[in-house]
Amino acid sequence: MLVFKRVNDLREWLKLQRKANMTIGYVPTMGALHDGHLQLINASVKQCQITICTIFVNPTQFNDKKDFQKYPVTIERDIEKLVASGTDALFLPPVEEVYPDGLNSSEFFELGTLENKLEGAFRPGHFQGVCQVVSRFLSIIEPDIIFMGQKDYQQCLVIKKLVRLKNYPVKVEICPTLRESDGLAMSSRNVRLNEVERLDSVYMSRMLNMLKSEITPGNLSALEEKGKNYLLSHGFMSVDYVSFCNAEDLEPVTIWDGHQPLVILTAATIGNVRLIDNMPLS
Ligand code: AMP
């Protein structure tokens, strides 16, 4: 596997790949790789001739400085995993290669109502930061397919919107959420859970399954409250949201007609780790 740290070196190599008509798959990550990430790599390796992964803990998408500083970094192990999974190239840039003009972007991404709800409401500026970095990487790499995880449901919709806004000629492929055997959605932040918190964290996916099995057409507010209270009585300190939303645009759904495609989204804190998860209801 080739490791690039400079944009120009990566661009030179990519030029050669494109000349040879290689299809390019791209997997953006912030590192501390787990099987959820590797699933995206596997999907790319299967569908594309070249797979490129970026590892970059993007400062502009963290509204909480402490969260940024505590973000786990395991580069050597990540590289071993990427080599074993058949990744062709890793782009591991320093901040100044990604943001040569500094961290303050002059570009505003018109994300509409997606911007300020759910994660956007609790992490102001987060999706602008996500768009800033993904936009930069898409224009450097120019992949045929970008692979994203459903674990970050709202982020997937944001990236689809970004691709439409900027007319990037890239297909956005969404891979399902990979879970631990007890149901906890895999996440780089899970390593920050202590033993007790790790045991209690399972109640997040249990809550989603419970709501899924109990939903009936009509008013969903009581079920959302039930989900929140369930988390609070099972080790979670605070719940940012448990929300039934339209699966396509994430508009909140209070009264369900029994047909509209829904997704339940949640974010809650256990110990000092904020976890998110979601469950689409077909
Ligand atoms: P991150 O490193 O957390 O920014 O994630 C990089 C990519 O991996 C994003 O597209 C995530 O949605 C995806 N991802 C993270 N965790 C999972 C998971 N448990 N299952 C599937 N995809 C995931």
Predicted local confidence at residue 104, as pLDDT: 85
**What are the Cα distances from residue 210, in Å, to 158, 179, 215, 231, 238?**
28, 17, 9, 12, 19
HSE at residue 207, side-chain half, CA atoms within 13 A, is 33
- Closest atom, ligand 1, to C-alpha of 155: 12
Is residue 267 within 8 A of residue 274, CB to CB? The reply is yes
Q: Is the CB of 278 under 6 A from ligand 1?
A: no
For 18-56, b/e burial (b = at least 16 CB within 10 A) is eeeeeebbbbbbbbbbbebbbbbbbbbbeebebbbbbbb
Separation of 226 CA from ligand 1 center, angstroms? 28
Residue 127 is which amino acid?
A: F
Instruction: Write the residue with the smallest CA distance to atom 5 of ligand 1.
Output: 29
Catalytic residue at 37? yes
Per-residue pLDDT of the chain (282 residues; tens, 9 = 90+): 999 999 999 999 999 999 999 999 999 999 999 999 999 999 999 999 999 999 999 999 998 999 999 999 999 999 999 999 999 999 999 999 999 999 987 799 999 999 999 999 999 999 999 999 999 999 999 999 999 999 999 999 999 999 999 999 999 999 999 999 999 999 999 999 999 999 999 999 999 999 999 999 999 999 999 999 999 999 999 999 999 999 999 999 999 999 999 999 999 999 999 999 999 997
What are residue 157's phi and psi, to 5 degrees? -65, -35
CA of 100 to the centre of ligand 1 (A): 26
pTM: predicted TM-score of the whole model, two decimal places: 0.97
The answer to whether the CB of 149 is under 6 A from ligand 1 is yes
Could you tell me the distance, in angstroms and rounded to a whole number, from the CA of residue 16 to the centre of ligand 1?
A: 29
End-to-end, the C-alpha distance of the chain in Å comes to 40
Output the pLDDT for position 105.
Answer: 75
Please give the single-letter amino acid code of residue 159.
I
| Cα 238 to ligand 1 centroid, rounded to whole Å | 23
pLDDT for 106 equals 77
Mutate to test the pocket of ligand 1, among 29, 33, 61 (most ligand atoms within 8 A of CB): 29
Q: What is the CA(201)–ligand 1 centre distance, in A?
A: 18
Q: Is the CB of 89 under 6 A from ligand 1?
A: no
Say if ligand 1 is within 6 A of residue 146 CB.
no
* Ligand 1: nearest atom to the Cα of 31: 2
